[in-house]
A and B are shown apart, each in its own frame.
Chain A
């Protein structure tokens, strides 16, 4: 079974430029998460989708960040314009929502450097 796929793996951009990250979750997983991990910190949730609906985007900086999951499968996270403080690892995870504890499966992340 293929895991969570993310691209690109690395991205270097200048500040004020736009950037987009793509995630394809594990087949059949209806819940998708985007996390951001700043240097020296643990991952922090940015947004959670159940199918195509964003059910928790309380931590997403909406002035410059946007996300979509149009068909309830893959997802794109965008930053426009990027700032120096956006340099981080952006992780995508997926899970199969149901009763009991849901394990989240992570992709390898996109390491963003803003110069």
Chain B
């Protein structure tokens, strides 16, 4: 079972602030890293899938980077808005399989207007 750590556990920011979270995972047997956003009472929404060391992905004000050699990924949100309030989950695939996601506990982001 992979040890996936996400930090911080929770975060409160003001509207307009930029913020970032960290996902740490074992660097051995890495296959891919998934980021999800999960708003209360909704379905977890896929944000990014990254596979290569040095990958950078961007979707609007949200971006992510990947370092497979040291086993971490950063998620950045620029100019946070109240609608960004959600739990952000990361989940690496490992062992060469492309289905077995091991989720971290998530980072709960609250953006205050």
Q: Which A residues are closer than 8 A to B by beta carbons? A: 3-4, 31, 33, 40-45, 48, 56, 91, 95, 97, 100-109
- Asked if residues B4 and A42 are in contact (CB atoms below 8 Å), the reply is yes
CA of A43 to CA of B101 in the docked complex: distance in angstroms? 9
Q: Which of B36, B43, B103 contacts A44 (CB 8 A)?
A: B103
Q: Which of A95, A101, A106 contacts B44 (CB 8 A)?
A: A106
Q: Which of B41, B91, B99, B100 contacts A108 (CB 8 A)?
A: B41
* Contacting residues, chain A, for B32 (C-beta < 8 A): 101
* Number of B residues with CB within 8 Å of any CB on chain A: 25
- With A42-B106, A45-B101 already in contact, the answer to whether A101 and B43 are too (CB < 8 A) is no
- Asked if residues B103 and A43 are in contact (CB atoms below 8 Å), the reply is yes
Q: Which B residues are closer than 8 A to A by beta carbons? A: 4, 31-32, 34, 36, 41-46, 49, 51, 89, 91, 93, 98-106
- Asked if residues B99 and A48 are in contact (CB atoms below 8 Å), the reply is yes
* Contacting residues, chain A, for B42 (C-beta < 8 A): 108
A-B CB contact pairs (8 Å), 24 listed: A3-B43, A33-B99, A42-B91, A42-B104, A43-B44, A43-B89, A43-B103, A45-B100, A48-B99, A56-B100, A95-B99, A100-B98, A101-B31, A101-B49, A101-B51, A101-B98, A102-B99, A103-B34, A103-B46, A103-B49, A104-B101, A105-B43, A108-B41, A108-B43
Apart from A42-B4, A101-B32, A107-B43: 17 A-B pairs, beta carbons within 8 A = A33-B99, A42-B102, A42-B103, A43-B44, A43-B89, A44-B103, A45-B100, A48-B100, A95-B99, A97-B99, A101-B51, A103-B34, A103-B46, A104-B34, A104-B101, A106-B36, A108-B42
